[in-house]
Amino acid sequence: MWSQDMSLTKQSIEDRMTDFVESCRRRGVRVTHQRLEIYREVASLETHPDADTVFRRVRKRIPTIALDTVYRNLKSLAELGLVSIVGTSPERLRFDANVRRHHHFVCVRCGSIQDFCSESLGGVEPPPEANALGEPVSMHLEVKGVCKNCGTRTKRRR
Ligand SMILES: [Zn+2]
Ligand SMILES: [Zn+2]
């Protein structure tokens, strides 16, 4: 069962870190200091950051790190299923440490991506039409709209 409270406490970030280290060990992936710090940023941001955002934050702790290193690490974490990739624009991939089944509310004005869970959508399986194209790994639904922040801003301006 999903937790309905999806806000991140210090504890839940630590839990994600612990799970991450365990998953890496299980898969025989080396947990380097860099990789851990990169994951920490994705895990502590609910905003589904892009590689550049992660880079700017990690650089505060590891000043010698390069954007390319951050990008390559994020991509390999995604291939391992330890983070998921959000969006399809290759020049601006965004990363999500929430690998549990969930969906996104994407704001068409500010581009923010917020997680939500829905019990009715939770049980939906990929249709046979998708199976015919390949082997489904996960299914993800995106709701587009105007987020509360942008909605109230428009109202205030009137
Ligand atoms: Zn918005
Ligand atoms: Zn998400």
Tens of pLDDT along 99-151?
888 899 999 999 889 999 888 887 788 899 999 999 887 777 889 999 999 99
pTM to 2 decimal places: 0.77
Select the CATH number that applies to the domain covering 10-96 from these four: 3.40.640.10, 1.10.10.10, 1.10.3470.10, 1.10.1060.10.
1.10.10.10
Ligand 2 centroid–CA 69 distance in Å is 23
Q: Tell me the angle at which helices 67-79 and 33-44 cross, rounded to the nearest 10 degrees.
A: 80
* CA Rg value for the chain: 17
> 103-157 adopts what CATH topology?
Dna Ligase; domain 1 (3.30.1490)
Ligand (nearest to CA of 114): 2
Question: Residue 57: enclosing H or E segment and its boundaries?
Answer: helix 51-58
Report residue 66 CA to chain centroid gap: 21
Ligand 2 centroid–CA 57 distance in Å is 19
pLDDT score of 12 more than 70: yes
How many other β-carbons are positioned within 10 Å of the β-carbon of residue 98? 19
pLDDT digits (tens, 9 = 90+) for 31-84: 999 999 999 999 999 889 999 999 999 999 999 999 999 999 999 999 888 998
Ligand 1 centroid–CA 85 distance in Å is 20
Ligand 1 centroid–CA 151 distance in Å is 7
Q: Where are the domains of the chain?
A: 10-96, 103-157
